[in-house]
Amino acid sequence: MQKPKAREARGVRPGGRTARNRDAVFRAVRELMAEQATQQVAIADVAARSGVHPTTIYRRWKTPEALALDVAMAGLSQRSPMPDTGTLRGDLLAFATRIAASISRPDGLAFLRTVVAASGEVELLRGRRDEIQAMLDRAPKHHLRSDDVFDGLLAPIYLRVLFGFGPPKPPRLAQLVERLIAAGDR
Which residues, 6 or more positions from 160, have their beta carbon under 8 angstroms from its beta carbon?
166, 167, 168
Residue 121 touches a second copy, criterion: CB under 8 A:
yes
Residue 168 touches a second copy, criterion: CB under 8 A:
yes
- For 163, which DSSP code? T
Residue 103: C-alpha distances to residues 18, 29, 128, 149 (Å):
29, 20, 15, 16
Q: Taking CB under 8 A as the criterion, which residues in 128-147 touch a second copy?
A: 147
Minimum distance from CB of 29 to a second copy (Å)?
Answer: 21
x-marked contacts with a second copy along 86-115 as a string, rule CB under 8 A: ---------------------------x-x
DSSP string, 105-128: SHHHHHHHHHHHHTTT-GGGGHHH
- With CB under 8 A as the contact rule, the residue among 64, 108, 156, 167 that binds a second copy is 156
Q: Which residues bind a second copy (CB under 8 A)?
A: 113, 115-116, 118-122, 125, 147, 150-152, 154-156, 158-160, 162-165, 168, 172, 176, 178-179, 182-183, 186
